[in-house]
Structures are given as structure tokens and as C-alpha cells.
């Protein structure tokens, strides 16, 4: 039996792998495919154990081993029926002959990471996982946790493990014991600028400068500006959340802001971000200085 686990969602891959190995009554053989030698394949794929007829062999990153990967498809028919071969390949080249052979002969499970469009999926997952960990969360707490942490399953799972230790979960508890992700911090930063709260804006920027990458932070700020523009220019018949993949909660927070500052100010904000983007790409100044200047301009609109 051959199973191929692929994709960038390492959480789901590791969970799937754990389920496979948990069902095996014996020692799982774990192999680093990047260091595997051709001479080792016969024993790995066709050899039998002295102590058991069944074997589970897990090989990671074999595709990085070009010397073996190019011809590995020819070995697939030689895998013993008593062996469960599990290949873990986050980013295999799907154009190769070996991958096409695996797709035809193996059980393929693909796990892609969640994006902002998967917020509802994340919320359903959080609800199910919290029950597995022995506690329940109401809808508001679930939505808050996903907004606070983001849709990365590792971070969500670690947050749930922390919450499992408290007597009861609430929005206040989540904000007190769970570290917010950068996206939440960026939203608060952008909202502070839009309110013209200069003191808090400067203080928040100083804190973020100590730990965050300016290029990533500016990309997230630009995304917030785009979302604001989408909300500001939407008609009553438009479904902004669905059309642009924006979480309904974000839309609900941006709508009153868009109405308060008006389309003309939103257009000026987009212009500021476009000019700052050019300045950053052309290295006209330090990125943090350019980000500071852009947000101060927005706060002064």
C-alpha cells in the first residue's frame, strides 16, 4: 500500500501521518529521503522484518533527492504487499514522471493551508477541536479567536490548548491569554490611523518596529486599504464579503469607517499607499520611515 501526503498545510499532514502510524502495531521506520541511497531501496521497499510481516515506512522529502526521484516510479510496483509506504512531499513537482506514477498507484491526500477565504472553515474547525479538548466555545468566542490568531492551524491549535486549561472561555479571556497575530495588530494600527489618534499610532508603531518585518507589515496594511476601498465603493446590492473574500466581521468594522471618512478620503488613502509602495520598492528611504510617514498622512486627513 502506498500513501502520498502533499501540500503546505503541515498541521494536517502531521495529523494525517499520526493517524496512519497510530493504526500500526509496531515500530514505524522513518527515513530522510534527501539522504537516501539507491542501494537502500530494495530493503526498504521489498524487505520483510524478522519480527513482523507488516511494516510501515515513512519517507520524507524524497523528491529533493533527484538521483532517486527520477526513477522512483519504476520501484512502485515492487513495493511489498506487507509494507505501507508513506511519502511526505510538501511541494512535489507534479510534472515529473514519478509524481504521475504515484498519482496513478498511490492514495494521494493533498492538504493546502487556509487563507482568509477559509475563515468560516476555520471557525467550524475550532468548534470541533475545542470539543475534542473537552470544552465548548460560544459563537462569539470562536469568531474572536479566529480573528485574534488567524487561520494558521498550528497557532489555532496551540491557542486551544491554552484555553483548555481555563475554567471557562470568553472573549475577554481570549484577549488576555492569547497573543494576537500580526494581522490583528495591523488592523488595529490601520484603524488607529483612520481615527487620527496620533499618540496611540506612534506608540503602536514603535512596538511593532521591535519585532515585525516592515515589508510584510506594509503588505498587510495595503491589503487593509484595498478592503476599505472595496467597502467604500460597494453599492447596496453588492456582496463585498463574498466578492472580495473579506470576512463579514471586517466588513462590519470597515463600513462605518468608510461612511465616516467618505469616498474622497479613501481615494486619498489609496494614493498614499501607492506612492509609499513606489518609495519602498525604489529604496528612497528606510521602510519603517516610509510606513510612519504614510500613516501619519492618513491620520491627518
Domains in the chain (CATH in brackets) are 2-110 (3.40.50.300), 133-177 (no CATH), 182-299 (1.20.272.10)
d(CA 42, CA 167): 54
Are 71 and 36 spatial neighbours (Cβ–Cβ below 8 Å)?
no
- How confident is the prediction along the chain (301 residues), in pLDDT tens digits per residue? 999 999 999 999 999 999 999 988 888 899 999 999 999 999 888 876 655 678 899 999 999 999 899 999 999 999 988 899 999 999 999 999 999 999 999 999 999 999 877 889 999 999 999 999 999 999 999 999 998 898 999 999 999 999 999 999 999 999 999 988 877 788 889 999 999 999 989 888 988 888 889 999 999 999 999 999 999 998 877 888 888 878 777 888 889 999 999 999 999 999 999 999 999 999 999 999 999 999 999 999 8
CA distances in angstroms from 240 to 150, 232, 283, listed in the order given: 20, 10, 34
CA distances in angstroms from 122 to 20, 153, 185, 186, listed in the order given: 24, 8, 19, 20
DSSP per-residue codes, 220-273: HHHHHHHHHHHHHT--TT--HHHHHT--HHHHHHHHHHHHHHHHHHHHHHHHHH
pLDDT of residue 181: 82
Query: Which own/partner pairs from 207-215 qualify as long-range (CB within 8 Å, at least 24 positions apart)?
Result: 209/288, 212/182, 212/185, 214/287, 214/288, 214/291, 215/280, 215/287
pLDDT of residue 29: 92
* CA 31 to chain centroid: 27
Phi/psi at 94 (5° precision): -75, -5
CA distances in angstroms from 158 to 28, 125, 151, 173, 192, listed in the order given: 26, 14, 12, 15, 29
pLDDT of residue 81: 87
pLDDT of residue 50: 54
The cell for 134 is 473537552
The cell for 149 is 490568531
Amino acid at each position: 500500500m502506498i500513501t502520498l501526503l502533499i501540500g503546505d498545510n503541515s498541521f494536517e499532514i502531521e495529523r494525517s501521518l499520526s493517524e496512519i502510524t497510530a493504526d500500526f502495531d509496531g515500530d514505524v521506520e522513518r527515513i530522510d529521503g534527501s539522504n537516501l541511497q539507491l542501494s537502500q531501496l530494495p530493503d526498504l521497499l521489498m524487505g520483510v522484518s524478522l519480527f513482523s510481516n507488516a511494516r510501515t515506512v515513512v519517507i520524507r522529502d524524497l523528491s529533493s533527492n533527484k538521483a532517486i526521484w527520477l526513477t522512483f516510479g519504476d520501484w512502485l510496483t515492487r513495493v511489498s504487499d506487507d509494507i505501507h509506504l508513506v511519502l511526505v512531499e510538501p511541494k512535489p513537482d507534479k510534472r515529473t514522471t514519478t509524481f504521475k506514477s504515484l498519482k496513478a498507484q498511490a492514495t494521494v491526500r493533498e492538504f493546502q493551508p487556509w487563507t482568509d477565504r477559509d475563515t468560516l472553515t476555520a471557525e467550524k474547525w475550532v468548534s470541533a477541536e475545542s470539543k475534542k479538548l473537552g470544552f465548548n466555545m460560544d459563537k462569539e468566542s470562536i469568531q474572536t479567536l479566529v480573528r485574534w490568531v488567524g487561520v494558521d492551524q498550528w497557532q489555532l491549535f496551540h491557542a486551544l490548548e491554552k484555553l483548555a486549561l481555563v475554567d471557562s472561555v470568553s472573549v475577554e479571556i481570549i484577549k488576555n491569554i492569547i497573543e494576537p497575530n500580526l494581522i490583528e495588530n495591523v488592523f488595529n494600527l490601520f484603524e488607529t490611523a483612520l481615527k487620527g489618534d496620533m499618540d496611540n499610532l506612534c506608540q503602536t508603531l514603535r512596538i511593532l518596529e521591535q519585532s515585525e518585518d516592515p515589508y510584510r507589515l506594509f503588505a498587510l496594511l495595503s491589503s487593509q486599504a484595498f478592503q476599505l476601498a472595496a467597502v467604500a465603493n460597494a453599492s447596496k446590492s453588492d456582496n463585498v464579503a463574498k466578492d472580495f473574500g473579506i470576512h463579514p466581521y471586517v466588513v462590519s468594522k470597515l463600513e462605518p469607517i468608510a461612511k465616516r471618512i467618505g469616498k474622497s478620503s479613501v481615494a486619498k488613502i489609496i494614493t498614499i499607499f501607492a506612492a509609499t509602495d513606489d518609495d519602498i520598492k525604489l529604496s528612497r528611504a528606510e521602510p519603517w520611515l516610509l510606513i510612519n510617514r504614510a500613516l501619519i498622512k492618513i491620520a491627518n486627513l
